[in-house]
């Protein structure tokens, strides 16, 4: 579009454009506003028919009360520990694999890459039942004997929450795409200088794809924090519950406590919104890279 257009038609077009985009944005944001406002409403305001947008009395104490009603702080801590573990493991293991597949061609490497791409297509719901069984029958854990019988295996343990999500094929795929773009001369020069392959990966090439690391780290953290079904299946005790599972349990056990529920929901969503606002560039780059390359 040309920079200066002063005709009346163009101006009307621009106003319509702004109004449309504003309306769409408002629709996207309103549920979060409603969540925040509900979380500071008194029971009387919540039961009001028709509902009012703003609370008559701002009940900020709801947040303290919610933490007493359910161990949301423990839930959030668990989610954080798991998400952080997944992030570190994914970044380490997937970057090595992605690097090897992009730069160190060896017999079978293209086959392995194809297998990872194929793995992207396999639905979670096809894998999740056998994964549950593997966890349940993990030999020599949780009272199981060497054949995996007799106990509960990894069920209701940190192992089950952390190990299966330690590497995702998508991270391997993303890292490979980023490493592919580096110039081959750098690698050759380092090799001539007598640097080993691991050294070239860690000291020469990896510093050049820092954005890839931030992107994979952010996407992994976000995915792990937001995950629900797997932690629901493999945990039972309250002390191991993650925030998403904790919220859904709180809702079924305390059906009508909307203010507390929305306070908990705020706790579950706000960290991700903040993370996104800080790392927006990398989120966008991650999705765009996956989408365009």
Partner 1 sequence: MAPTRDRVRATASGPSAAPPRGRGLQRARRRAGLLMVAPAVLHALIWIGIPLVAAVVLSFTSYDVLTPPRFIGLENFRDLLSDNVFRRAVLNTSIYTFFTVPVAMGIALLIALMLNTRLAGRAIFRTAIFIPQVTATIAVALVWLWIYDPRSGLANAVLSFLGLDGPAWLSSTDWAMPAVIVVGIWQGIGLKMLIYLAALQSLPTDLYEAASVDGASKFRQFFSLTLPLLRPATFFVFVTSVIGAFQSFDQVYILTDGGPANSTTMMTYEIYKSAFREFRMGYACAQSLVLFALLLFLTLLNRRITGGDRATR
Interactions with partner 1, residue window 73-92 (CB under 8 A): none
Task: Tell me how long the chain is.
Answer: 293
Interacting residue with partner 1 among 15, 64, 73, 133 (CB under 8 A) = 133
CB of 61 to partner 1, least distance (A): 20
CA distances 165 to 24, 127, 216, Å, are 35, 12, 14
Residue in 60, 228, 238, 239 binding partner 1, rule: CB under 8 A: 228
- Whose tokens are 């985009």? That residue is 21
Selected from 40, 82, 91, 94, the binder of partner 1 by CB under 8 A is: 94
For the bound state, the minimum distance from the C-beta of residue 210 to partner 1, rounded and expressed in Å, comes to: 19
**Considering only residues 138-167, where is the footprint of partner 1 by CB under 8 A?**
164, 166-167
Among 63, 74, 80, 131, binds partner 1 (CB under 8 A): 131
- Choosing from 68, 125, 146, 207, the residue that interacts with partner 1 (CB under 8 A) is 125
Tokens in use for 217? Answer: 């780290």
Q: What sign results for the dihedral spanned by CA atoms 185, 190, 196, 200?
A: negative
Does the protein bind partner 1 through residue 64 (CB under 8 A)? no
Residues 191-220 that bind partner 1 (CB under 8 A): 191, 196-198, 201
Q: Contacting partner 1 (CB under 8 A), which of 75, 258, 260, 282?
A: 258
Q: Is residue 117 part of the contact set for partner 1 (CB under 8 A)? A: yes
Candidates 109, 156, 159, 213: give the one binding partner 1 (CB under 8 A). 109
24 binds partner 1 (CB under 8 A): yes
Segment lying near partner 1 (by CB under 8 A), choices 66-74, 140-148, 153-161, 247-255: 247-255
User: Residues 10, 34, 189, 254: which binds partner 1 (CB under 8 A)?
Assistant: 34
Q: Is 127 in the site for partner 1 (CB under 8 A)?
A: yes
* CA dist., res. 283 & res. 43, Å (int): 38
Helix (H) / strand (E) containing 27 = helix 8-39
DSSP string, 72-128: HHHHHHHHHHHHHHHHHHHHHHHHHHHHHHHH---TTHHHHHHHHHHHHHS-HHHHH
**Nearest CA to 83 among 210, 226, 214, 212?**
226
CB of 241 to partner 1, least distance (A): 12
For 16, 60, 93, 199, 213, the CA distances from 124, given in Å and listed in that order, are: 42, 40, 21, 36, 24
For the chain, how long is the longest CA-to-CA vector? 81
CB-wise, 124 or 239, nearer to partner 1? Answer: 124
User: Using the rule CB under 8 A, which residue among 7, 8, 106, 146 binds partner 1?
Assistant: 106
* 23 touches partner 1 by CB under 8 A: no
8 contacts partner 1 (rule: CB under 8 A): no
- Contact window for partner 1 (CB under 8 A) among 60-68, 80-88, 111-119, 140-148: 111-119
Binding residue for partner 1, selected from 15, 186, 278, 284, defined by CB under 8 A: 284
Among 93, 111, 245, 237, residue whose Cα is nearest residue 165: 93
User: Cα(88)–Cα(72) distance, rounded to whole angstroms?
Assistant: 24
Collect all residues with Cβ–Cβ distance below 8 Å to 35 and sequence separation of at least 6: 262, 265, 266, 269
Q: Shortest Cβ distance from residue 11 to partner 1 (Å)?
A: 14
């Amino acid at each position: 579009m040309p920079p200066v257009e002063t005709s009346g038609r163009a101006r009307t077009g621009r106003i319509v454009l702004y109004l449309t985009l504003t309306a769409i944005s408002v629709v996207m944001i309103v549920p979060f506003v409603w969540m925040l406002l509900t979380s500071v409403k008194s029971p009387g305001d919540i039961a009001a028919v028709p509902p009012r947008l703003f609370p008559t009395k701002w009940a900020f104490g709801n947040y303290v009360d919610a933490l007493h009603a359910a161990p949301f702080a423990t839930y959030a801590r668990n989610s954080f520990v798991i998400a952080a573990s997944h992030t570190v493991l994914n970044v380490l293991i997937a970057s090595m694999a992605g690097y090897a597949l992009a730069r160190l061609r060896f017999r079978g490497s293209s086959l392995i890459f194809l297998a990872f791409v194929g793995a992207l297509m396999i639905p979670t719901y096809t894998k999740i039942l056998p994964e549950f069984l593997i966890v349940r029958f993990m030999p020599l854990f949780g009272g199981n004997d060497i054949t995996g019988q007799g106990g509960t295996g990894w069920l209701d343990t940190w192992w089950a929450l952390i190990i299966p999500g330690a590497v995702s094929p998508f991270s391997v795929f993303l890292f490979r795409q980023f490493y592919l773009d580096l110039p081959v001369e750098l690698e050759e020069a380092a090799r001539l200088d007598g640097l080993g392959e691991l050294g070239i990966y860690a000291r020469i090439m990896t510093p050049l794809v820092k954005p890839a690391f931030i992107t994979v780290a952010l996407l992994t953290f976000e995915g792990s924090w937001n995950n629900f079904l797997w932690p629901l299946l493999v945990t039972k005790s309250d002390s191991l519950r993650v925030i998403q599972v904790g919220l859904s349990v709180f809702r079924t056990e305390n059906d009508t406590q909307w203010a507390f529920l929305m306070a908990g929901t705020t706790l579950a969503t706000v960290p991700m919104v903040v993370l996104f606002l800080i790392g927006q560039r990398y989120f966008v780059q991650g999705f765009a890279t996956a989408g365009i390359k």
